[in-house]
């Protein structure tokens, strides 16, 4: 049953039993009192984590959380995708995040007939009707492969017109890019919610590598300030928490839809940010704090 929540959380399927145990027994309980509307589970390039995604979806649903598996055609055919949709329906899953997806590096599989996210959304609707609440991806700083800004906005509209209920953005650190993007989407006739996606700034070197690959801009002033903390990881961490907390507060104050957090399967940064922006209040967070203490013990 879908519920209203203060935010949504994204996890990736752990590759090891130890990672799985930590996610299910430490991280997830520590974040439960953020009152997430749902937890999304990522899906590797070409469906490379399909089996672990399905297993993680089932485990998180068993833990009592509403869950939204990521789904993309990648190198799969329609029958494989139809079977996966049927499996999710049987599990009681009511949400999906529909993505174009990428083929694994070096994959030589010929291009499939259904590649783009709007085609995937149409396929889901044709196969399952209105069973699933579907979210798609949006790019405030524009997808790195986009022909133009306007083309990317209209492509988002095509995904929503195909039957998606809402969108979740790629992470960003320049809040004005989100506000401008929202204005352009409204001008294009988009009325569905576009949830801001936010990633905690923890391992800055990894963040820079990932941002370069996916086209997310890390503003120069942040990069320069992080350079000051090159030999002081504690100050770098605190600065990252401060920057992201302020970004979230600005979004909330502006009336943006609930934030989607890319947790990177980490509890402590998320709880600190949530506490800073008022998603954790008073004595409501003792259980999560206890779970967090177990995870860092």
Question: What's the pTM?
Answer: 0.90
pLDDT single digits (tens) 103-118? 555 544 544 445 789 9
Question: What's the pLDDT score for residue 12?
Answer: 95
Q: Which of 10, 26, 37, 141 is catalytic?
A: 10
- Residues 262 and 199: beta-carbon distance below 8 Å: yes
- Kindly state the average pLDDT of the residues 262-289: 82
Which residue from 234, 231, 254 is spatially nearest to 242, judged by alpha carbons? 234
Concatenating the DSSP letter of every residue in 74-127 gives TT--HHHHHHHHHHHHHHT--EEEE----PPTT--PPPPS--SHHHHHHHHHHH
The yes-or-no verdict on residue 178 having pLDDT over 50 is yes
Pick the closest to residue 156 from 169, 171, 173, 144 (CA basis).
169
pLDDT tens, residue by residue, 23-75 = 999 999 999 999 999 999 998 655 556 778 899 999 999 999 999 999 988 76
CATH of domain 7-296: 3.20.20.220
> Which of the four pLDDT bands, split at 50, 70 and 90, describes residue 158?
very high
- 37: annotated active-site residue: no
Residue spans per domain, the chain: 7-296
pLDDT of residue 46: 53
Residue 88 CA to residue 56 CA, distance in Å, equals: 12
């Amino acid at each position: 049953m879908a519920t209203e929540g203060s935010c949504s959380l994204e996890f990736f399927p752990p590759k090891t039993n130890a990672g799985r145990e930590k996610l299910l027994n430490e991280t997830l309980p520590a974040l439960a009192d953020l009152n997430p509307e749902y937890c999304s589970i990522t899906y590797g390039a070409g469906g490379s984590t399909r089996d672990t995604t399905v297993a993680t979806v089932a485990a998180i649903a068993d833990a009592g959380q509403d869950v939204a598996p990521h789904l993309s055609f990648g190198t799969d055919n329609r029958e494989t995708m139809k079977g996966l949709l049927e499996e999710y329906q049987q599990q009681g899953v009511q949400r999906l995040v529909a993505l174009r997806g990428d083929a694994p590096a070096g994959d030589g599989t010929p291009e499939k007939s259904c590649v783009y996210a709007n085609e995937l959304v149409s396929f889901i609707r044709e196969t399952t009707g209105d069973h699933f609440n579907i979210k798609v991806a949006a790019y405030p700083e524009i997808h790195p492969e986009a022909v133009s800004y306007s083309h990317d906005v209209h492509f988002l509209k095509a995904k929503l017109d195909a039957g998606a209920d809402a969108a979740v953005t790629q992470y960003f650190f320049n809040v004005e890019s989100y506000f401008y993007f929202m204005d352009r989407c409204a001008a294009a006739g988009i009325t569905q919610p576009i949830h801001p996606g936010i990633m905690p700034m923890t391992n800055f070197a990894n963040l820079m590598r990932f941002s370069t690959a996916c086209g997310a801009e890390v503003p120069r002033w942040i990069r320069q300030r992080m350079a000051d903390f090159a030999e002081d990881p504690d100050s770098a961490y605190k600065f990252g928490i401060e920057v992201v907390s302020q970004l979230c507060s600005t979004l909330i104050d502006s009336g943006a839809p609930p934030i989607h957090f890319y947790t990177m399967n980490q509890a402590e940064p998320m709880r600190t940010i949530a506490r800073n922006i008022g998603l954790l209040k008073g004595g409501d967070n003792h259980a999560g704090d206890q779970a967090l203490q177990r995870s860092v013990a």
